[in-house]
Amino acid sequence: MKIFVINPGSTSTKIALFEDDQKVWGTNVDHAAEELKKFKEIADQLPYRMETIMAEVNAAGVSLEGVDAFAARCGGLVGLKGGVYAANDKLMEHARVCFTVRHPNTLGPQIAKEMQKVYGGEVFCVNPPDVDELDDVERICGFHELFRQSKGHPLNHKENCIRYANSIGKKYEDLNLICCHIGGGVTVAAHRKGKYCSVNDAVNGDGPMAPTRAGWLPATDLVKLCFSGKYTEKELYDRIVKNGGLADHLGTSDAREIVARINAGDKYAKLVYDAFIHQLAKAVGGCAAVLKGQVDAIIFTGGISHEKYLVEKLSEYVGWIAPISVQAGEFEMEALAAGAIRALKGEEEVLQYTGVPVFENFDYLKN
């Protein structure tokens, strides 16, 4: 099967051609920041991105004739269950208007639809960032009008869980797994029998700190900072989601540089990095409790899982819970292709996006 994968980012778009599960060609297409600034809305970037993408495809001599499917990353959707989605009218509408979030990944299915007009094939979106399979008890927090949200890395999480299950001859839906995505953002999730049932909200300031995100913060002290007059709303928001965590403490988000500093005797770097690992371990322990101790394996994935210091230290904390599988790196492109292949083979039902969120509130339970 011939699958073309599209994964748009802020100033680039990753593209790749797969034949079955083998990537035969791929590249990261850069889009000039000065050009992108000319477009008021993200959807307005579509013609420019198409032009630059097709220029790369043609320059590489890659043929899209006979493509079976386009698999696209897509955000901006309402909360939905995990799976492979057809790019139906409602999904396209919500992607086009960035219904729930303004992010270039909303361009994924739009680019795919343009290509479909020329080359045919199906268009699928696989495990969008908006996957929400949280247990209801996970949603409750200490303010009645606020709810914890599922904002993580479901595409990479589920792909790694499926890969682990395949490696031991079992199905993802038959296992209880804890998956740690350790990259620029960090999410630690419990997967109960194929359901992404507990995960920290990596976008809104929840869970372990990350290389560029603050994670858990003392709430009342944060309120004081908000009203101190020292920061604007945007400055604090950016500090929470873009330049907090390791970067805030150490001036870098590069784990390799931090470990080099530790090896050179930097005691503060060691304290902060060890605290990062400590927080990851606490999150894993929390997921083990959610799974009531019935854990088949713990998976480390994401770019920082390449780093030996972290893997060894984190394993010391959590290795007693379950066997550890290190699957370092990110497999988003492979995950998109694999989802399309499962759909085409009939191994997984193709879902229809309704635009109705799986969760809004608990008003229906209140007397």
Separation of alpha carbons 209 and 271, rounded Å? 13
The DSSP H or E segment spanning 119 is helix 108-119
What is the DSSP code (8-state) at residue 329? B
| Token reading at 100 | 């729930």
From residue 1, alpha-carbon distances to 4, 53, 343 in Å are 10, 22, 11
Separation of alpha carbons 98 and 74, rounded Å? 10
Separation of alpha carbons 277 and 303, rounded Å? 15
User: Per residue in 171-184, pLDDT tens?
Assistant: 999 999 999 999 99
User: Per residue in 192-239, pLDDT tens?
Assistant: 999 999 999 988 889 999 999 999 999 999 999 999 999 999 999 999
Residue 55: per-residue pLDDT:
97
Residue 309: per-residue pLDDT:
97
| Token reading at 229 | 């007059």
Three-class DSSP category at 266: coil
Q: What residue segments make up the domains of the chain, in order of their start? A: 2-130+333-351, 137-330
On whether the 2-130+333-351 domain is CATH 3.30.230.70, my answer is: no
Return the number of other C-beta atoms located less than 10 Å from residue 189's C-beta.
30
| Token reading at 323 | 């066997």
Residue 152: per-residue pLDDT:
87
| Token reading at 18 | 């797969």
Separation of alpha carbons 288 and 318, rounded Å? 10
Contact 191, 165 (CB under 8 A): no
Residue reference for tokens 């330049």: 243
Q: List CB contacts of 205: < 8 A, sequence separation 6 or more.
A: 213, 214, 215, 216, 217, 240, 241
**3-state SS string for 290-313:** HCCCCCCEEEEEEHHHHCHHHHHH
Do 137-330 and 2-130+333-351 have the same topology in CATH?
Answer: yes
Low-confidence stretches of the chain (pLDDT beneath 50):
none
Q: List CB contacts of 246: < 8 A, sequence separation 6 or more.
A: 209, 210, 211, 212, 252, 253, 255, 258, 272, 273, 276
From residue 73, alpha-carbon distances to 77, 106, 148 in Å are 11, 8, 24
DSSP letters for 72-115: E---SPPPB-SSEEE--HHHHHHHHTTSS---GGGGHHHHHHHH
Tell me the CATH number for domain 137-330: 3.30.420.40
Question: Could you give the angle at the alpha carbon of 331 between the alpha carbons of 328 and 335, nearest 5°?
Answer: 145
Contact 215, 205 (CB under 8 A): yes
For the chain, what's the residue count?
367
From residue 271, alpha-carbon distances to 188, 212, 249, 262, 318 in Å are 21, 17, 10, 9, 19
